[in-house]
Amino acid sequence: MFANFLIGLREGLEAALVVGILVAYLVKSGRRDMLPQLWLGIGVAVAISLGFGALLTFGPQGLTFEAQEAIGGTLSIVAVGLITWMIFWMGKTARFLKANLHSKLDHAVEGGRWAVATMALLAVGREGLETALFLWAGASTTGASTRPLLGAVLGLAVAVLLGWLVYRGALRLNLRVFFRWTGLGLIVIAAGVLAYGVHDLQEAGILPGLNSLAFDVSAQIPPSSWYGTLLKGFLNFSPATTWLQAVAWVLYAVPTLALFIRTAFGGSPAPRPTSAVPAAAHS
């Protein structure tokens, strides 16, 4: 549940900031007449993202067990690659996010109302598709349960609230600090998703070593126990882990964490907190 809460919070806040920046810029630049097209693009992006999430969830159900495991394992590994890219990309570009979006919106305004709708669709749609894939991968590691969905919904709800408070000028966020610490958490989560994806591919017969266990502490940490559930929710921990899963976890987590800590925490001290989105002009 915690893993999906963190994913929902991080990705949802990115999307909320994007929306807030676009809306505030149109309002402050006196282009309120283009707000309907902007909201149309955002609405279509949300609908596409929900459809993509439904496709991931229900699409493979009619396939064989091996095919489902192959698809699940492959998409989990793809999700890890996207999560990793997003973590490092956002760590470098968070402070330039507003300027980049303003520049793109300026060009869209010159192109007309439907260019604004398209720009909003692409900007928010990318965040939405990433979120759907990440949440699906995170939920898959915990099995069929309402808890992953609840965690994701709570994370998205908090993200929307934070985004609204920032937009209204009631909250100031230091985005570099936020993305640093959530980045650390997401790397640990991604390592668990990668190990889960490897296990899926082993069950599909694509990768070997399904019965070669590095450790099995199921007796000491039953998956159904409260502490087993806690470890699963926080760290995607599996009591029975194959050697290939363990190697994949270590080879991903150790160098990725080391590189992220070096790049995100090794620079100059974080600047004073600044508002990511200026308060909109009120008329």
Q: Stretch 79-88: mean pLDDT, rounded?
A: 88
Confidence of residue 145 (pLDDT cuts 50, 70, 90): low
Q: Stretch 156-171: mean pLDDT, rounded?
A: 82
Tokens at 181, concatenated: 């610490």
Tokens at 167, concatenated: 């937009």
Q: Stretch 66-91: mean pLDDT, rounded?
A: 87
**Cα gap 187→207, rounded to integer Å:** 23
pLDDT attached to residue 94: 66
Q: Are 10 and 182 in contact (CB under 8 A)?
A: yes
Please tell me the pTM assigned to this model: 0.76
pLDDT attached to residue 258: 93
**Cα gap 30→145, rounded to integer Å:** 47
pLDDT attached to residue 156: 86
Pick from 280, 230, 270: nearest CA to 94: 270
pLDDT attached to residue 142: 62
| Domain boundary assignment for the chain | 2-265
- Per-residue burial over 110-129, b if 16 or more Cβ lie within 10 Å, else e, is eeebebbbbbbbebbbbbbb
Q: Are 2 and 150 in contact (CB under 8 A)?
A: no
Confidence of residue 277 (pLDDT cuts 50, 70, 90): very low
Q: Which has the minimum average pLDDT: 27-41, 69-83, 141-155, 213-227?
A: 141-155
Q: Stretch 71-84: mean pLDDT, rounded?
A: 90
**Cα gap 81→117, rounded to integer Å:** 29
**Cα gap 235→119, rounded to integer Å:** 37
Q: Is 15 a residue whose pLDDT tops 70? A: yes
Q: Is 268 a residue whose pLDDT tops 60? A: no
Confidence of residue 43 (pLDDT cuts 50, 70, 90): very high
**Cα gap 2→151, rounded to integer Å:** 6
Q: Are 141 and 236 in contact (CB under 8 A)?
A: yes
